[in-house]
Amino acid sequence: MFETVGDYPVDPIMIGTELFAQDLRADKLNLTVGIYQDENGETPVLNAVKQAETRLIEVQKTKSYTALTGDADYCTGLGQAIFGANTFDECQFVAAQTAGGAVALRVMADLFAQMPTKPTVWLQTPTYGNYHAILTAAGAIFQSVPYYDQIKREIVFDEMLAGLKSANPGDFFLMQGVCHNPTGADMTREQFEALLDQLEAQGIIPWIDLAYLGFSQSFDADCEMARQIAKRFPECVICTTLSKSFGIYRDRAGALFVKTRSADRDRIHRALSAIIRSGSSHAPDHGPSVVQLILQDPMLKALWLQELDQMRRRVIEVRQEIVKIEQRDFQRNSLAYMGRQSGMFSLLPLTMAQEAALTRNHGIHVVKGGRVNVARLGDADIPKLISAFHIVGAEV
């Protein structure tokens, strides 16, 4: 029977890890990873998380199931942190605790696929590759509009707005919060406002995915896009993962916030509960409880924000180093765009053949399509990457 199962595509990020393991060169460099790494190439547990975990063991009284939509206090605490207490109260979201952001995205994708008239979800190109897999697995309908030109190294904002002209009222536009994955290129404030104007004018519903809160300017400032959307639109969707902001990737903390008109609220709550029950089921508790403890305790919160600041500063410093070293030691500016981008990821402006040469000839592994994790770069790696980038750019 199993011989009838077709060949499933391997996720490009997972395949990158496999290919890296197979590379026997001692000086190979893995820029495919999707997580924060410090200058030693490690992803340590934050001190705030360690302290909250210790406390959790002491105070936790039960490990019985939570509601299908998780712990309402967790959703409220997180919602207040993201939207601010007033906006959170006003919006009266239908909220669910989910196993990371991926499950929040999947629950929405399932909902759209099950609606009597399936809305089209509009995606940016390029965007987080797993959106395609999640929407496809759910059976949701999606289309794409251009977002970023990898060779020109810039957002193609007008093309994105022009593409969205084909959307219908009731369609959803899935965008990302700060530190766009994989491009690192975020819209300016003016662009974001112009986008919201167009969404509103066309009756397109915003769906924003927040994965890197705290990695651009600060946790608070990085929540601004979600706040604007929630304040302005009667219907909107916000998904978030706390994997990166708290460094708790494997503990699976995330959430889904759906703003509906009041008449729809209970029905949407039942719909989300039913979808969760038949799929991911109850969310894990450990990671979310740690987050809840940190957000509730001023001392732990201050420590976490300090550690988040450190991660952000390191990413910014690496970006500035790339620009500085390319100018100073190579007298070139071809990577200057990286200094203007934010978060862990950027795309190298390489063709497929040049990208293959980067790995084959220089042992530098990137995600298919040219995504590099700048947080992985130590001091010695930066000139190595720049030099290899120049060589492959010139020779292929």
Binding site for ligand PLP (CB under 6 A): 34, 100-102, 128, 176, 181, 209, 211, 241, 243, 254
In terms of CB distance, is 101 or 119 closer to ligand PLP? 101
In terms of CB distance, is 100 or 363 closer to ligand PLP? 100
Provide the minimum distance between the beta carbon of 178 and ligand PLP in the complex, in angstroms, as a whole number. Answer: 10
CA–CA gap between residue 315 and residue 216 (Å, rounded):
9
Provide the minimum distance between the beta carbon of 177 and ligand PLP in the complex, in angstroms, as a whole number. Answer: 8
In terms of CB distance, is 174 or 293 closer to ligand PLP? 174
Nearest residue to the partner ligand PLP, using Cβ: 100
In terms of CB distance, is 181 or 359 closer to ligand PLP? 181
In terms of CB distance, is 128 or 389 closer to ligand PLP? 128
Provide the minimum distance between the beta carbon of 241 and ligand PLP in the complex, in angstroms, as a whole number. Answer: 3
Provide the minimum distance between the beta carbon of 213 and ligand PLP in the complex, in angstroms, as a whole number. Answer: 11
Provide the minimum distance between the beta carbon of 333 and ligand PLP in the complex, in angstroms, as a whole number. Answer: 28
Residues 6 or more apart in contact with residue 322 via CB below 8 angstroms: 335, 338, 339, 374, 377, 382, 385, 386
Whose tokens are 């765009």? That residue is 337
Provide the minimum distance between the beta carbon of 134 and ligand PLP in the complex, in angstroms, as a whole number. Answer: 9
In terms of CB distance, is 243 or 260 closer to ligand PLP? 243
